[in-house]
Amino acid sequence: MTQTAALTVQQTARPHGFPTAAHFAFMESPVPVPTEGTALVENLYLSVDPYHRELMDEGGWDLDTPLEGRAIGRVTASRDPGLREGDLVFHREGWRTHALVTLGTQGTRKITAYEGVPLSAHLSILGGTGLTAYVALTRTAGLKPGDDLFVSAAAGGVGTATGRIARLLGAGRIIGSAGSPAKVEHLTRNLGFDAAFDYHDGPVAGQLALAAPDGIDVYVDNVGGDHLEGAISALRDHGRIAWVGAISQYNSTSAQPPAAPRNLFEIVDKSLRLEGVLVRNYTDVQGELEDFLVPHLQSGQIAPDETVVEGFERTVDAFLGMLRGENTGKMVVRIAD
């Protein structure tokens, strides 16, 4: 059935602290028509991400304008010589039902529908989420077989991918932190974590010391603040920190920088290495990620961890829910089959 109306989500106001649905509006417009060099894509899945919260602040997304975001969709009409009707593509014109794209710009690339692997995996473990985890472990932290690992926000998208990939790479003990007893149980029961704790149950440093009494070699930090401080204390000499994100700070209303970590000088004492990870610097590793993971996904040795919210009209709910921790694995929105 040919659709005549396209929907976009637009941001209408800047939040102070935690955003709400009132900061967004759904807008209807005619389905765009491809111009020379572009193709029309009907989106199938959208990604909602913590970095979108940063884009909501001054200097980020323009107000009252369709929003960017990672998406996968199917080409339904094309005037781009590189794209044909029916092609599946990844692109960054998300948070809308239809997009005009050009191959090679705004990250637009064709994707492969691997047999036995859900298409949504291209937004989770085979997408930027998995790539972040993979480069954090292989490039930034240089994880070696037997290394003991701690990962925060462990039950989320990057966190679950980090646990899965670290296990495949031969990590030693894997320890995770998460925000509820159910997530802690999920990590140890279903995802192969050796230990996990709820960061609401007490100071991170104390809980990590109990979960990893002999210390850790690598920390993949999705949270920042107290988590980073606790990990610095737990790291052994020559340990490595891959700093991926600081979700504990994205909704802060304080003008002051966070108090923690207060133990940065331990980085010198223990010859630690701390390095930031920005996935957009590693797009050349995408093929390596797929070569590495697809056989494990197809054999069932690992699975994509996802929370799939049904319906474009629930995009904002999915985004706010992800910020509140309602997801396990990567939060994605399914628009169509």
Q: What is the β-pairing status of strands 5-11 and 24-30?
A: antiparallel
Please state, in angstroms and rounded to a whole number, the distance separating the CA atoms of residues 121 and 318: 17
Residue 132 contacts ligand NAP per CB under 6 A: yes
Among 124, 129, 138, 233, binds ligand NAP (CB under 6 A): 129
Work out whether 304 is an interface residue with ligand NAP (CB under 6 A): no
Determine, following the binding rule CB under 6 A, whether residue 155 of this chain makes contact with ligand NAP.
Answer: yes
Per-residue x/- mask for ligand NAP, residues 226 to 265, rule CB under 6 A?
------------------xxxxx-----------------
Identity (one letter) of the amino acid at 219? Y
For residue 251 the two structure tokens come to 């909704």
Residue 114 CB, shortest distance to ligand NAP, in Å, is 22
Residue 274 lies near ligand NAP (rule: CB under 6 A)? no
Q: How many CB atoms lie within 10 A of CB 256?
A: 6
Residue 304 burial (CB < 10 Å; 0-12/13-18/19+)?
A: buried
Listed ranges 139-147, 263-271, 283-291, 323-331: which one lies at the site for ligand NAP (CB under 6 A): 323-331
The mark string for 7-46 relative to ligand NAP (x by CB under 6 A, - otherwise) is ----------------------------------------
DSSP string, 145-186: TT--EEESSTTBHHHHHHHHHHHHTT-S-EEEEESSHHHHHH
Q: Locate all alpha helices (DSSP H) within 37-109, ordered by sequence.
A: 50-55
Secondary structure class of 49 (helix, strand, coil): coil
Among 56-64, 72-80, 109-117, 319-327, the segment contacting ligand NAP (CB under 6 A) = 319-327
Binding mask 170-199 for ligand NAP (x = CB under 6 A): --------xxx--x----------------
254, amino acid identity: S
Rounded CA-CA distance 59/57 in Å is: 6
Smaller CB separation from ligand NAP, 66 or 159:
159
Residue number with CB closer to ligand NAP (75 or 154): 154
The residue among 276 and 311 lying less far from ligand NAP, judged by its C-beta, is 276
In the Cβ-directed half-sphere of 311, how many Cα atoms lie within 13 Å?
4
For residue 114, give both structure tokens: 């691997």
Closer CB to ligand NAP, 77 or 136, in the complex: 136
> Applying CB under 6 A, which of residues 174, 279, 320, 333 lies at the interface with ligand NAP?
279
